[in-house]
Amino acid sequence: MKTIVSWLTITLVGLVLGACSAVDSVSGGAGETEIRSGKIEQITQTQMQTNHDSGVGAILGGIGGLALGSLIGQGTGRDVAMVAGALAGAAGGNYAEKKKYDQPMDAQQIIVRTHSGVLVQVTQPINPALKKGMNVYVEGSGNEARVVPQS
């Protein structure tokens, strides 16, 4: 019994710590950010997948399943029920989180020609202030890049 509880505790701590990430300039923390300027050549309406894979649903579902499993039986049967409850709860919690929060959202695909002549394509949530031919900044890079109007 103590061995199973120990393993479940270690697994839960590993999941919680694995959900944490270091904050740096790439992940949105303090640091330098690349900013390019240019002119919008094209704006196309599209959809983008949200990124809400925080793991909170799986963790809370696993804890709830573990708690419910602990109410069943005694001895080895109880241990099995706790493990099964934790696994089923984690799977259910993850599914519920994705169902509620991981829905596609309206977005714009924006193509900007920078002053150096390079074309940059960014897909981001809709910003109604952006229009074709407008002078803009492209802030950041990769999935974190955003097009914003020049003031």
Residues 106-117: pLDDT tens digits?
A: 889 999 999 888
Contact 107, 48 (CB under 8 A): yes
Give the per-residue pLDDT at 135: 94
Element (H, E) at 65: helix 56-69
pLDDT reported for residue 25: 46
Task: State the residue range of the domain holding 19.
Answer: 1-23+51-102
Residue 8 falls inside a structural domain: yes
**Do 67 and 122 have their domain in common?**
no
**pLDDT (average), residues 6-15:** 70
- Pull the structure tokens for residue 127: 């910003």
The structural domain count of the chain equals: 2
CATH number of the domain bearing residue 129: 2.40.50.140
**In-domain check, residue 28:** no
pTM: 0.49
